[in-house]
Structure 1
Amino acid sequence: MPHQLPVTIRAPVAADRVAAVRDVLDEANEKGPFGAYFCFPDLENVHFVRLLLVPEGPGGAEGGMPAAVVYIAEVDAPQRRHLADLVRTCGDDLEKVFRHCEGYPAADAPARARLAWLRSHRVRSAAFYVNTVGRGSRQILQEAQLREAIEEFLDRRGPELAGAAPERIRAAVQEHVTGREDLAWARSGPPAPALWWRIRETAHLVVVPLLGLLLLPVLLIALPLWTVLLRWHEARDVPGTGCPARAHERELAGYEDFVAQNPFTAVGSVKPGPFRRITLTVILFLVDYAARHFFNRGDLAGVKTIHFARWLSIEGGRRVVFASNYDGSLESYMDDFIDKVAWGLNAVFSNGLGYPRTRWLVVGGAEDELAFKHYLRSHQLPTQVWYSAYDTLTTHTVGTNARIRAGLFGPLGPAQTEAWLALL
């Protein structure tokens, strides 16, 4: 069983090529809004893919921040396999966009040149969340197939099995699955992630707190100073007061609510000065640590509808991109966060320009629901090209399918058998 990885390719675009990139992405959306235009469905071991344009941004005294094409994917390890597959399968399609970027190899350049270019433009995620670590895209699709096969069998054999004991019904299902070679994989559970990866994760889990203990004297000295500086900055923060433009909201709505899931992509400028950049870097490190080791079984501090999420620091830390794949509407997605983890939103996003006013980093902010929603919508980017390998499946459905597989074979008591049948 593979573990999951974020892949991000970011490439600047010259100002005179931005319109051309936007035209390509718009054309791709019109011809195949779910990635067909870029042959993403032909890629293996992929969960989600998006391709978008991050617009130019003001950089104040430090200079402007150029527009960039950004490719974002959530894939099963290893990453090198995905990049090689991307060049081999979608190289010609990607050229339609990336040829407008600085330094992209010519059309007649060998595949290895394109691969080297993509590798050189990778961006490391500052924090990455996976709904359930180790659940690969192939497993998700197979378990959906298994559930469909079982439900079709029960529909067909319904009159015969009506009134039968739960154990008898389960035995009939087992017999049916065993007799199908295409479901042979279901007779055993999914394998565990690679041993080397589990050792590395355990080491990371232990080493980070140990380093924190070693640095504790320094942290205790620095904390009061940081607290004073935080309140000084918060007192001088200027929250945004505007609403998102109607045209912007209409454009965003045109890319949403076609399937069970939606993509969310937003970009914002970090408040100027080293204090906010350092604070945000530390917060995202802690978010990544928590998501990596504790919130990796379908629950992000109470929010259960997110498949993947990531934070990217770009332009030398002057801007941050947030990207996620979630179930349902954007309104319910924002409400879920506000109701359950407003403090976490504040800890991260309060370091961005225009965020609603906070106190002590975690108080206020997203608690002003309307201001927070206006802030998110204003910073949200159109995601013209987006692909999901299982766009009809919510996180709840994916989890239920995994439980069906887990309970299909092996010993179950009477109550457990009834609970298993209730999943179908």
Structure 2
Amino acid sequence: MRQFMLTYGLPFDAAHLAAVDDRLEVLGQRLLDRGPLRDVLRRQGLHFLSITTVPGDPGRPAHLVVEISVDDSEQQATRILTERLGAEMALILDAAGLPREELHDLLRRHRIRSGAGLFDVPGLDFCGTPGMSVARIRDEHALTRRLRDIMDAGDMPGPTPLARLRALRDRVFGDDLPAGLHAMRQVEPVAPLPAASGMKDGLASVILAAAWSFLWPVLLPLGALVLLAGWLAARAGGAALGFATLVAAAVVALLALGGLLAWLYALLRRMERANTADDSLPDPAVLEQVAAHENRALQNHLAGISVMQAGWFRRLTLRLAFRVIGLMAAKHFRPGFLGEIGTIHFARWVLLPGTDRLLFFSNFGGSWESYLEDFITKASNGLTGVWSNTAGFPATENLFQKGATDADRFKRWARRQQRPTRFWYSAYPRLTTARIRANAAIRHGLLTAATEDEAAAWFSLLGSSARAAGSIETGEVQSIFYGGLKRQPAGASLVLSLPEGIAAARAWLRALEPRITYGEELPRGTVHQLGLTHEGLRKLGLPPATLQDFPLAFRQGMAHPTRARILSDTGDDGPADWLWGADPRPDAVLNLYAEDAAALEAAIAEALALGGRLLHRLTMAPPTAPDGGPMREPFGFVDGVSQPVVRGTRRWMRDADAIHAVEPGEFLFGYPDNRGGRALSPRLPAAADPAALLALHDQRHSDGLLLPSFAPGGAGGDRDFGRNGSFLVVRQLEQDVAGFEDFMTRAAGELDGRAGVPPGLTPGQRACWIGAKMVGRWQDGTSLIRHPTEPGQGWPDAPQAEKDKKKRVPMDNDFLLGAEDPTGQRCPFGAHIRRTNPRDSFAPGSREQLAITNRHRILRRGRGFEAAGSGDPAARNPGLYFMCLNLDIERQFEFIQQSWAMAPQFHGLENEVDAVLSRGGRSARLTVPTPEGPLTIRRFADFVRLRGGGYFFMPGRRSLRWLAQDP
């Protein structure tokens, strides 16, 4: 379906201007009354029609401007104006003093054919619903209303979204389908629209391409002169002289062309500096008339008339601006979007022939204020490029810069240009472009949705809005992703081996799966969270090709010699000495969280009764201290202070900042990551998912962030097994608390009086200072960056009266290590938190460095454990049950461990590893920079011992349900 946008400019004696306006006002009111006049325009393929008067300069004619958007053909516009609106147009011509019997000829003679070429009438047309006829827009809206009526009646049988959609499809396309909607079953689906790159992306190259297209009147004669010079020289002195002359002439021509361009640019800058912004207020009387004709529907019409700056040059730059916008629309904008603005139905710019009036007409959704804000924030470059050529526009630079970004001046200027919209017809005044697109997607999805994911997305279109492409499907993600489950303080971890045989393993999962908790809203009862190893997925019958899609690190597992070498899991930290995780390899980890110990024990008993073999059991400590304070790990330091903030979560709304902000695709399959890409997710053949439980592997969206594409043939496409899943890293870390405290006491004595150690500290305070330098934070959680000399909440062994004088200081985490402590004199380069999250440390103040660091972030979800709950009957030490979520084990967890924490030359250090995770030996040292020179703390013991671990995949809800099906 092709649409046509036509504009007519009929000159008339300006003395009749008031009479024409009065006649348009009367006819416009007849349209608003929804009487016969509106009826005659329906079902004519007419989208929008407006008739506006344009005043002329003194002594010059006014103009009657008709802008019309129709389907089918250009002749349809003429038929509507001369036949359907013949009587009304005759009244308008009478008021204008124009002969009514010549309407057809008047329209033909005064049709404005605009374009962006050198010899075109400068102008640009825009359509926000390309390829969509009036009939289709109306029919799809009627279909949507019918679907809503059925849903409101609650008559949608079926246990799953896809089953309900199929039942709804059968009913809608049954014999009782209203006339006109049967044909919708044959409508070709709309092709998925590419994501927009915006006006700013590629603007410079497009400007150059557009400018080049205007240079041909100069390039042709220059080229001819160059060739002529070479030919004449060749005739006079031979081929060698001709070639040399040709080269010399080409160089001269290029220099001349460069000089011309430089002169034109200088002329532009001079004119921009000479243009004075008009800050005068709009005429109150005109503004009142304009406002009186606005907001009568969900759409509005804008008629803007601005005055061009004088001279040929501004008409040239106006054409250049139109050419640039046209090229950007063709190469960078999504169809139907002007930059990122998606609220415009039809709009056009045109320079009224024979005048200096630049006209802008727009049929748009929403209020004038919201429309102008969209222009300012989403398409200011394009607007500025056009209107910078008009008088009184806010100051601009380089044709496309500034201007419309001067928001208040721009809005005042826009109001001054407006004319009241007295006569305006809209075929669908209660529909916005967003609703039209949604209705199209609803019809398309009703016909083609073939998977559970598509069915769920389709039902969302009938709600308040479609789910954005990058927003998290909250109810599909296991709840540990959203936080540490503090509402359930009692916790245990069961490491399991699954029953042998696919049928038995799936029966176990089928009994367990309904207990798994998903989403951000947690229940009051027990929470179950499940992770599966590569071997566990194999036992559950995941096809070999899908298993091979998982990354190598996960397939090998933490106990593999390659992974152990990367993680520095050697000596008594090696897999051979683990309590669990190496031999036998586990299949699953089931974490249970409950409100109290009794509920936890009941949940453990129920879980073990489902089958499988228990390989290891660990009881986790509560995530908070007995006094309700934050969790402290066994060495006494507040834990969990610094965490990434994931876009789209509740914490994002509360705590988002540039330092810790990350995209969901850093932790979950199926979403954009910090670089805008998406991790390659394990795929499953369509034949393995006949019930269509899983999402399509290459799920596209029809306009980037608004509507699902419902791509045809989806039922035969590969499925996305990984979507909404993440990798869980588990490490059971036993901590030698007595050894750590002995070391602190000994080191405090050895460093007494040493240069660089703060004077006047008691032995206990000095030990606290040493621990803070090792960790990078004080034990109360406050940072060394903001509190370099003592804890933010006072010394632990200070008199109570002294501590009471200090206000309770919250734990701080919004610092930049490089910008605030570039030499490491507050937080040493080798400190634990600086190694595991360097922030901008490698390039102080660099946002790019911060972005690089954030590509290696992990979501920590661990808890402490007591010796009695560690699963080792001979255990004497408590520890940390370290757990973290990440999507790329090698780039995130293993990179932190290998390239930062255990790297001997991290940040320029020499033979020095993480002081807290140190394995002892020659690299067990910490260099503390001080004003007096570096201070070295030596003779660390092996304070932390690895007792077990593994790499687990935590599937999303649909993937777990697929695994739990009967084989």
**Counterpart residue number, 1:55:** 55
Higher mean alpha-carbon deviation, 82-91 vs 329-338, is at: 82-91
- Superposed, 1:170-249 pairs within 5 Å as 170-179=165-174, 180=177, 182=179, 183-190=181-188, 212=213, 215=216, 218=219, 222-249=260-287
Matched-pair contact (CA < 8 Å) for 1:346–1:365: yes
1:335 aligns with 2:373: yes
1:90 aligns with 2:91: no
**Counterpart residue number, 2:46:** 46
Indicate which of 109, 117, 136 corresponds to 1:120: 109
Matched-pair contact (CA < 8 Å) for 1:187–1:409: yes
SS of the residue 1:311 aligns to:
strand
**Counterpart residue number, 1:148:** 145
**Cα distance 1:78–1:293, how it changes in 2: closer, same or farther (>3 A)?**
farther
Q: TM-score, normalised by structure 1?
A: 0.86
CA separation in 2, counterparts of 1:333 and 1:17? 33
CA offset at residue 360 of structure 1? 1.6
- Superposed, 1:28-47 pairs within 5 Å as 28-33=27-32, 38-39=37-38, 41-42=41-42, 44-47=44-47
- Superposed, 1:208-357 pairs within 5 Å as 212=213, 215=216, 218=219, 222-291=260-329, 295=333, 297-316=335-354, 318-357=356-395
CA separation in 1, counterparts of 2:76 and 2:327? 25
CA offset at residue 303 of structure 1? 0.9
CA separation in 1, counterparts of 2:33 and 2:387? 29
**Counterpart residue number, 1:134:** 131
**Counterpart residue number, 2:428:** 390
SS of the residue 1:307 aligns to:
strand
CA separation in 1, counterparts of 2:146 and 2:17? 48
**Cα distance 1:34–1:242, how it changes in 2: closer, same or farther (>3 A)?**
farther
Task: Letter of the 2:344 partner, please give it.
Answer: I
CA offset at residue 257 of structure 1? 0.6
CA offset at residue 358 of structure 1? 1.2
Matched-pair contact (CA < 8 Å) for 1:262–1:329: yes
SS of the residue 2:69 aligns to:
strand
**Cα distance 1:105–1:213, how it changes in 2: closer, same or farther (>3 A)?**
closer
CA separation in 2, counterparts of 1:281 and 1:213? 9
Which one has a larger percent helix, Structure 1 or Structure 2?
1
CA separation in 2, counterparts of 1:410 and 1:237? 56
CA offset at residue 296 of structure 1? 5.5
**Counterpart residue number, 1:109:** none
**Counterpart residue number, 1:78:** 73
CA offset at residue 269 of structure 1? 1.1
Larger-gyration structure (1/2): 2
CA offset at residue 322 of structure 1? 0.3
CA separation in 2, counterparts of 1:214 and 1:25? 44
CA offset at residue 92 of structure 1? 1.1
Matched-pair contact (CA < 8 Å) for 2:385–2:400: yes
Matched-pair contact (CA < 8 Å) for 1:133–1:296: no
Q: Which structure 2 segments of 5+ residues have no match? A: 115-122, 192-208, 220-256, 463-967
Matched-pair contact (CA < 8 Å) for 1:259–1:391: yes
CA offset at residue 289 of structure 1? 4.2
CA offset at residue 392 of structure 1? 0.7
Higher mean alpha-carbon deviation, 144-153 vs 22-31, is at: 22-31
| Number of equivalent positions | 396
Higher mean alpha-carbon deviation, 336-345 vs 220-229, is at: 220-229
**Counterpart residue number, 1:166:** 161
CA separation in 1, counterparts of 2:103 and 2:417? 31
1:10 aligns with 2:19: no
**Cα distance 1:363–1:410, how it changes in 2: closer, same or farther (>3 A)?**
closer
SS of the residue 1:99 aligns to:
helix
**Counterpart residue number, 1:202:** none
Task: Letter of the 1:29 partner, please give it.
Answer: G
CA offset at residue 211 of structure 1? 8.1
Higher mean alpha-carbon deviation, 282-291 vs 324-333, is at: 282-291
Task: Letter of the 1:189 partner, please give it.
Answer: V
Higher mean alpha-carbon deviation, 25-34 vs 84-93, is at: 25-34
CA offset at residue 97 of structure 1? 0.6
CA separation in 2, counterparts of 1:68 and 1:36? 28
SS of the residue 2:389 aligns to:
coil
CA separation in 2, counterparts of 1:347 and 1:37? 43
Q: Which structure 1 segments of 5+ residues have no match? A: 59-63, 107-112, 194-207
**Counterpart residue number, 2:743:** none
CA offset at residue 35 of structure 1? 7.8
CA separation in 2, counterparts of 1:227 and 1:420? 52
Higher mean alpha-carbon deviation, 213-222 vs 254-263, is at: 213-222
**Cα distance 1:29–1:87, how it changes in 2: closer, same or farther (>3 A)?**
closer
Deviations 1:122-166 (A, max 9, x none): 11241011113211111111100111111112222x1x4367311
CA offset at residue 192 of structure 1? 8.5
Matched-pair contact (CA < 8 Å) for 2:134–2:427: yes
Task: Letter of the 1:6 partner, please give it.
Answer: M
CA separation in 2, counterparts of 1:247 and 1:213? 43
